[in-house]
Structure 1
Amino acid sequence: MTTSAVRLIVIILTLYVACKIAVLWRGPRPTGGSLCVYLLWPGMDTRPFLRRSPHRGWPWLGRGLIGLGLGVAGTVALRWAAPHLGRYAVGWLGVAVFLTAVHLGFADLLSGGLRRAGYPVRRLFRDPLRSRSLAEFWSRRWNLAYVELTRMLFLPPLRRWLGRVAVPAAFLLSGVLHELAISVPVNAWYGGPLAYFGLHAVLTTAESRLRIHRWPVALARLWTWLAILAPLPLLFHTPFREALVTPLFWSGS
């Protein structure tokens, strides 16, 4: 395991544990086995772990199996094709494979499994391709574990201190956290993730002026995905891809 990978794991685990402790400190707190399950669950909301009751989870399990299967198939295909594609293509395709397998596959499997076990958790990634605005993507469809964390821990003090600019400030805070998880492990390209989320703070604020909710669905989705994908090299920058993504699929020179 490389030094960059070790740094990445240590940083993510440290941030994860710190956030869990902060949420549990505020309460309410699950107990016993439910507390153990909560500590392993990526989400931050403790309420699904306070009282168990049966819930349907089969649809999410099915989606999760499809997403994980696509991710595994993509991994096999990419490892086979990597020498013919070049490092740049392998790096970006590797990011796509990882997001598919983990964010759209394993996350749904975990959510569905916990619901079947009696914990009424929500999906962590709710059909992000259906997003019709950046506001919808970031607040209701993508990484709801971080959305929960922001609403529970970050937004209340930010609203007290900064008022109406609390939400843009939360985007910048997300940028700082992504710097810790992306730039710090490879010790390079500082400022890229912060610039990505700073740009999205501006674009998300502009959406209300643009009245994007009145746009045709296809045009609104085109806007959303152009805004997400076009500046993506700022977030998953070259040093990160070269150090931590490409080597997973290709060991060539």
Structure 2
Amino acid sequence: MSHSLFTATFRLACGQPCCPFCWMQEEDERRYMRSLIHEYTLAPDIHAHLAASTGFCARHAQMLIETEWAMERDGLGTATLYESVLKQLEAATAKALETSSKRPVLRKFDPNEVFERILAALHPQETCLACLHSRQNERFALQSWSDYLSEEGLEADLAQTYLQAWGVCLPHLLRLLEQRPSLEVARWLLNDFQTKLQQRRKRLEAYIHKHDVRHRHELREDERHAWIEAVTLTAGGFLDRRGGLL
């Protein structure tokens, strides 16, 4: 397999307490944010796209703030990027206001038609830049893993490492299967998912059972986060040992 960088990163991801694809996605997105702040705050194409998308989506906007604060304890990079966003949004709002004041001369006034034009003026014209970047890298990772299993086989070293890992979340399992691997690979992925699903369902049942006052002292450490694991397995994301999803 030619994707040696992928295999090295994926091996590291398999050592994390979460879906390896979720971990790689998060790491890649944070690297992308650091790169934007360090190298591209003045890039015209970045400013043009951010203006058209009215900035980042909520998840990536929060990540941008967290990343810059961790790096610089300052918000100058974000401020520079968002200057174009606010200028564009100001112009779009002015257009929406102008639209709201117009009345047709020769036909009946339709408020719904006006609202459609107002919404069109304010609605983002492009997708979040970080989402586009993340989807591209995610597709590469999923295809690389599917190719690895097909080319190296299910007994290969990294395949066995994967079996010992936390496991794949449902959203990434579905995306892996959308790659249309061989049926042998598909069954292997499904068997691993089923095994880990059954383990987590049993831990979840134990967690519920041991909340009875008679059994609370029996709760094991690996069962304390069963409720978070259940959500993470089905939705994706990070398992936060403090009691939430990242």
Tell me which interval the TM-score lies in, with the shorter structure as reference length.
Answer: under 0.3
Which is richer in helix?
Answer: 1
Q: TM-score, normalised by structure 2?
A: 0.27
Q: TM-score, normalised by structure 1?
A: 0.26
